[in-house]
Amino acid sequence: MAERSSGLEGVVVAETRLSDVDGEAGRLVIAGRDVEDLAGRVSFEAVAGALIEGQRSPAFAETMRRALGEARGRAWAALLPLWRDALGLGDGMAALRAGVALLERDDDPMDIVGAIAVFAAAWARRARGLPLVAPDPAAGHAADYLRMITGQAPDSAVARALDAYLVTVVDHGMNASTFTARVIASTGSDMVSAITGAIGALKGPLHGGAPGEVLGMLDAVGTPDRADAWIAAELAAGRRIMGMGHRIYRVRDPRAAVLEREVTGLQRAGIEAAHLDLARAVEAAAERRLAERHPDRPLRANVEFYTAVLLHALRISRAAFSPTFAVARAAGWCAHVREQRATGRLIRPSSKYVGARWAIAGDGAA
Ligand code: COA
């Protein structure tokens, strides 16, 4: 099968110290460590500190925890009145895009990462018609995000699982939203513009918009014994299986394994992950059917597959899945904006013109 190309595969548009994706080996390194070693062992604040400030000490993780807590507090106090209309928008990513755009000209990554968590949680509450919950600056970022969504401090296994999720998806090479952020940063524009643009890119179903659709798929399949027939019918109808396939990975996305591990951990802690067995059956059926259809193109589970299972088990609503992805990725985006700025170079790829020549009356007249 001939692979279609965006023309950019393999083109190096930046040098980065932030993360590295090896699609053949199925390896993701974030800030110098494999994602499997980080998730569940190192906090989101620690990884955000390593990415944004290049600091890896436990003491700095504590500094980041305080700084992010204060930033959430500032966002709640200063931005809530400004956010009234944005919080009323029906789509979580459209709302987040509008809410972040209102940060005006703020170049502090802490303010942006803190504000995104407060906004995303407030939107999730408002969407369910519930009163908003103020942040607790003393709490960890993951635990506080969950508390602002559910109204209750989460137990430690739940907070740990969300923290592991935030770490797992914090950065991922030159993905579409990160590239967007870097392009905007490369023009000399401000950080808020770069992050607003990145949110627009993440919103798409081929990037960060897939996990909600994965959950929809699992609900539609219903029981493990129906998985194979359901997948076969979808493929026969020419539809894509959400949560399967990746532009870079030619093996199973390593983040899928990390998140599956976290869901299993939740179950061991007595927290029900209703969709885990079903998800495994659907993944196996999809992998088998896709291999039959595309024998030369490995199409395996990507991060979104088990994101859906994990976030559902954490009682985060489907509509809030993509905004929760942005809560994590915001730290990676800010780090990339800083890194891009340090180069001082405008990103300006070229295009190949394949259009027709415009014939205008009078052409050829002497
Ligand atoms: N389900 C069914 N078929 C798929 C597929 C999927 N999830 N992913 C790719 N394919 C098929 C395509 O239809 C195409 O077949 P064709 O050549 O016969 O038309 C072939 O595999 C190659 O697809 P292509 O679009 O070139 O792959 P890509 O590198 O652009 O795909 C994704 C990457 C992520 C866009 C794609 O796998 C996809 O749409 N996945 C579902 C959405 C998703 O989970 N997104 C989250 C990504 S982290």
Which atom of ligand 1 lies closest to the CA of 235?
2
Decide whether any atom of ligand 1 lies within 6 Å of the 242 Cβ. Answer: yes
pLDDT for 143: 98
Q: Which of 299, 305, 306 to mutate to test the pocket of ligand 1 (most atoms within 8 A of CB)?
A: 299
Confidence of residue 327 (pLDDT cuts 50, 70, 90): very high
φ and ψ at residue 149, rounded to 5 degrees: -80, -45
- Positive/negative CA dihedral, 185, 187, 190, 192: negative
Which atom of ligand 1 lies closest to the CA of 239?
2
Mean per-residue pLDDT of the chain: 95
What pLDDT, in 10s, does the model give residues 103-136? Answer: 977 799 999 999 999 999 999 999 999 999 999 9
Phi-psi region for residue 273, left (φ > 0), alpha (ψ -120 to 50) or beta? beta
Decide whether any atom of ligand 1 lies within 6 Å of the 31 Cβ. Answer: no
User: Residue 202: pLDDT above 90?
Assistant: yes
Which residue did the predictor score with more confidence, 65 or 104? 65
How many degrees, rounded to 5, is the angle at CA 305 between CA 167 and CA 250? 90
Is 44 within 8 Å of 167 (Cβ atoms)?
Answer: yes
Mean pLDDT of the 355-365 span:
91
Mean pLDDT of the 310-316 span:
96
Report CA dihedral (34, 333, 166, 72) to the nearest 10 degrees: 140
pLDDT for 2: 41
Confidence of residue 157 (pLDDT cuts 50, 70, 90): very high
What pLDDT, in 10s, does the model give residues 274-302? Answer: 899 999 999 999 999 999 999 999 999 99
CA–centroid distance, residue 192 to ligand 1 (Å)? 31
The DSSP bridge partners found for residue 29 are 20, 34
Q: pTM score, two decimals?
A: 0.95
